[in-house]
Chain A
Amino acid sequence: MTVVSSSLATTSENGGDVPASLRRRVTLSTVKEQLVQLSLFLCAFASILTTIAIVYILITESWQFFSHVSLWSFLTGTEWAPRDSTDPQFGVLPLLSGTLLVAFLSGIFGLPLGLLSAIYLSEYAAPRMRNIAKPLLELLAGIPTVVYGYFAVTFITPWVLRPVLQDLLGLEVDFFNALSGGIVVGIMILPTVSSLSEDALRAVPGGLREAAYALGSTKLDVSVRVVVPAAFSGIVASFLLAMARAIGETMAVVIACGQQPILTLNPLSTVQTMTAAIVGTALGDTPAGTVEYQCLYAIAITLFVITLSMNIVAQFVMRRFREVYQ
């Protein structure tokens, strides 16, 4: 209604060559449209602001840290002892090795299982089976990580690892150990790998499968030698995203792997991951603003750079894969 009345009003004012009905008019309604569009744009822009804020905070705070501790000694130091009153050490390697050890162990469990289940869901399972299995796998992804941590310390270490590895094989298993964390994080990333890889496998055109069957292949040949290679980049991307998740995982490893920054590759030993060190620093009574506290930001920016680059590589790989079959 506003449009009609105001158009009548403007016709007499400025009649040009263009008919009045085609002229762009400023009315209450168009202003409202513009306002709506602007506010929706601001909503979308909020996500950019979030990124800017994260990067700004991490860089400014860790800048202060690196003005006290050199970047080189941070990246190559083999001892992490920020609270040592006489000679604090800020070498990130023990934390990095802890993180990578847990991520590696979780990858050993999570990646092959995830890929096999993706092959099953995409190539073997009947639709009915798929409809049951997929939601169940999604539920696995919905379990909070603090619960996985509880599983690791209450069941996996005392009921599985200690009886088998310590009592049977005579290996020493710490109460908090990297392996139990790796196992639960592996279960945690399984749904990520499974669902992303399955998407990639299903995107492989049926013609490729049919061609292979026509040559006398079995389903195994088709799956392993045709479909998986064809979806390889998508699978790699899912692996990268899953590993990035494993590296950034916090609560499960804080609970399962302990808080001892030990530079070791022994999966049965206590380790401290980067995320656990951040939590440990934040929970401790270190006053904000000191170097012992700012080291938290230095670890966080390291973690951020690692996970971000893995994500970017994964997206790059995935985009290339999409170009192949569309």
Chain B
Amino acid sequence: MSLSVESTPDDIARRYFREKLFEWHCFAATWIGVVVLAVLLIGTIAKAVGWLDWQFMTSFDSRFPQNAGILAPLLGSLWLTVLTGLFAIPVGVGAAVYLEEYSSDTWLRRIIQTNLANLAGVPSIVYGILGLSVFVRMFGVFGTAKPDEAALKVLVVSLGITHLRIPLPPLPLGPSLLAGAGTLALLVMPTIIVASQEALRAIPPSIRHASLALGATRWQTVRHQVLPAAFPGILTGVILAMSRAIGEAAPLLMMGALMYVARAPGGIDSVKALFSGDPGFEGLMKAPYDKFTALPLQIYNWISRSEDRFQNVAAAGIVVLLVVLLSMNGVAIYLRQKYRKKLRW
């Protein structure tokens, strides 16, 4: 530290100047990322103008840029999100509840905790390799037969008047929605667990003590006191984790899901198709075993096509993807702010 006892006004002026200069640098560093991103987004939107229209939203992919649409990946991403959530949220929240509410500070808990931190740092492409072996191929235990939609075995359940036809999963799953969702669930699980743990930790112990003192069991305390109180925090974490899942392309790429898909999973491409007899309920049951594409995959596909106009199609796809993600992030941030203000025990 250059602290001379007698500072001349010149010295002081120089120090103030350095001071301001540094502050300005820090300020610029904070905003440069945001500014660069804003410029890039505006550029992307400019490229998407004229391509992002109703036809784009309601068509399937095409070899001609002017006919290409985003319906299949949009529905694929929707399916993926729902299925991933079905797998990852109960298990992730359950794991967090175990770690925070049940386990004492044993070596096992410490191992799980360290393991979670490591899993969160595993590159997403490695999860893709995991999904390829575990879900797509199932370690080759069931042979290498590729799932063919027509060959799906169907379990017929008689309901007296009508029959319920439930398709059985093909083994191995192949590059199906179910395999993709399983992979993404493993990928986002650490995020969900860590976020839920933080939400649970924010609940003061007095709530638990009060509940236990009134004779509630551990699970009753968790189920009726802790989980409802931690719900907004958990929800925020879950939304952020799911928005990560929506944007991931690398694991799906590894699973072999990069293909030309010009149909909706299970053939359900509109609300009408869902409620009419064809494909209706059976299509809904078949969809998880169907091949699929997802928003980031389709965007990558368009980017890597040689024709220049597909770059505009990709830009339109990116705008759709970002709108989906930003609205999810917006909801998460809103929930967190609301939660923070309400948090007065």
Contacts and interface: CB of A to CB of B under 8 A. Distances in A.
Interface of A: 29, 32-33, 36-37, 39-41, 43-48, 50-51, 53-54, 57-58, 61, 112-117, 119-121, 123-125, 133, 135-140, 142-147, 149-151, 153-155, 187, 190-191, 194, 215-221, 223-225, 241, 244-245, 247-251, 254-255, 275, 278-279, 282-283, 288, 296-297, 300, 303-304, 307-308, 310-312, 315
Interface in B16-47: 16, 18-19, 22-23, 25-34, 36-37, 39-40, 43-44, 47
Q: Is the interface of A mostly helix, strand, loop or mixed?
A: helix
B296 A144 contact: yes
A24 to B, nearest CB: 13
Contact of A113 (B23, B32, B318): B32
A282 B29 CA distance: 38
Nearest to A279: B253
Contacts of A51: 115, 118-119
Interface residues of B, number: 91
Given A47-B95, A112-B29, A220 B118 contact: no
B262 interface: no
Interface of B: 1, 3, 15-16, 18-19, 22-23, 25-34, 36-37, 39-40, 43-44, 47, 90-92, 94-95, 97-99, 102-103, 111-112, 114-119, 121-130, 132-134, 137, 186, 189-190, 193, 217-219, 240, 243-244, 246-250, 253-254, 256, 258, 296, 299-300, 303-304, 311, 314-315, 318, 321-322, 325-326, 329, 333
A144 B118 CA distance: 22
B322 to A, nearest CB: 7
B334 to A, nearest CB: 10
Contacts of B90: 43
B interface SS class: helix
In the complex, the 8 A-B pairs of residues with the closest C-beta atoms, listed nearest first: A248-B123, A144-B247, A43-B94, A116-B29, A120-B26, A40-B98, A311-B121, A117-B30
Nearest to B295: A144
B45 to A, nearest CB: 12
A241 B190 contact: no
B229 to A, nearest CB: 18
Given A116-B29, A187-B37, A255-B303, A47 B190 contact: yes
13 contacts: A33-B219, A44-B98, A46-B95, A47-B95, A48-B112, A54-B129, A133-B31, A143-B247, A143-B322, A151-B43, A217-B3, A219-B19, A312-B118
Contacts of B103: 41, 44
Nearest to A296: B129
A190 B117 CA distance: 20
Given A47-B119, A117-B26, A40 B134 contact: no
Contact of A41 (B98, B254, B258): B98
Given A47-B116, A57-B133, A187-B37, A120 B29 contact: yes
A244 B121 contact: yes
B303 A124 contact: no
B240 to A, nearest CB: 8
Given A47-B119, A146-B296, A282-B256, A137 B95 contact: no
Contacts of A296: 129
Given A32-B219, A57-B129, A147 B318 contact: yes
A116 B125 contact: no
Given A29-B217, A40-B95, A311-B121, 12 more contacts: A40-B98, A50-B130, A50-B186, A113-B29, A114-B29, A142-B240, A143-B322, A147-B318, A147-B322, A219-B19, A220-B15, A304-B126
Contacts of A125: 30
B125 A48 contact: no
A219 to B, nearest CB: 6
Given A144-B247, A283-B258, A307-B123, A48 B115 contact: yes
B163 to A, nearest CB: 33
A103 B43 CA distance: 26
Contacts of B94: 39-40, 43-44
Interface-centre pick from A33, A47, A116, A154 (highest chain B CB count, 10 A): A47
Contacts of B125: 248, 250, 275, 278-279, 300, 303
B19 A218 contact: yes
Contact of B123 (A48, A123, A144, A250): A250
A116 B23 CA distance: 9
B33 A190 contact: yes
A144 B30 contact: no
A140 B37 contact: yes
A217 B1 CA distance: 8
A5 B337 CA distance: 47
A154 B134 contact: no
